[in-house]
Amino acid sequence: MADLTATKARVAVFISGTGTNMAALLYASRLPTSNYEIVLVASNREDAKGLTLARAEGIATFAQSHRGMERDAHDAAMEQAAQAAGADYIALAGYMRILGTAFVERWSERMLNIHPSLLPRYKGLDTHGRAIAAGDMHGGVSVHLVTADLDGGEVLAQMPVAIEEGDTPETLEARVRFAEHQVYPFALSRHIDRHRTS
């Protein structure tokens, strides 16, 4: 049997916006010890800023607006792009679409997401505002496996980020972003190592 760990895992990243986590994953993949490479950056928004960076870095991109499309048809277009790129894993990085159950199940254990809270706290949106309003000492970041249960899959890695006095959702979000950029490449790499050898 071929030694899978001798080759780099192929990762497609799905984004909807700025793509700073995609950039963190990409540059981490270019470190000499990385066990993965980014083979595609795909988006449901043709104007997603992250696509411009990906192109400048020589990464294949795919963009297909979801507007006017059935969910399943849009999912299928995104999945087909990932498959055509030969992706082994999909990393959702600010991808603002809920994927259909069939898609999620086909990529079981092979699709990850980053969420800006210490899951299981604050699933969904406005995580920073909710953490501040609750008087929490920490916000944070979680990387988890994607399952049909929104933001409910197994947590692979987390990092707390201290909430400072006077923090607003925006100031907290900006600091959490630093932590996200560290945690996502780490969690993806470690998951690939464990998953490929299991």
Considering the rule CB under 6 A, would residue 158 count as an interface residue with ligand GRF? no
Q: Per rule CB under 6 A, is residue 171 in the interface with ligand GRF?
A: no
x/- contact string, 101-140, with ligand GRF (CB under 6 A)? -------------xxx------------------------
Query: In the complex, what is the shortest distance from the CB of residue 13 to ligand GRF, in angstroms, rounded to a whole number?
Result: 9
Contact 66, 97 (CB under 8 A): yes
CA separation for the pair 12, 3 (Å, rounded): 22
65 and 45 Cβ atoms separated by less than 8 Å: yes
8 vs 49, beta carbon nearer ligand GRF: 49
Helices 169-196 and 20-29 pack at an angle, to 10 degrees, of: 40
Stretch that binds ligand GRF, among 18-26, 73-81, 118-126, 187-195 (CB under 6 A): 18-26
d(CA 42, CA 30): 19
Q: Where are the alpha helices (DSSP H) in the chain?
A: 20-29, 49-56, 71-84, 101-106, 127-133, 169-196
List, by residue number, the catalytic residues.
115
CA distances from 139 to 53, 62, 70, 112, 179 (A): 28, 33, 35, 20, 11
Q: Which of 8, 10, 17, 178 binds ligand GRF (CB under 6 A)?
A: 17
Q: Which of 91, 180, 185, 191 forms a contact with ligand GRF (CB under 6 A)?
A: 180
Pick the closer one to ligand GRF by CB: 20 or 61.
20
Tell me if 4 sits within 8 A of 36, measured CB to CB.
no
**Nearest-CB residue to ligand GRF?**
94
Burial of residue 90, with CB atoms counted within 10 A of its CB: 0-12 exposed, 13-18 middle, 19 or more buried = buried
Span of 14-22, 39-47, 131-139, 158-166 interacting with ligand GRF by CB under 6 A:
14-22
Nearer to ligand GRF, 9 or 25 (CB): 25
Residues that bind ligand GRF (CB under 6 A): 15, 17-21, 93-94, 114-116, 180
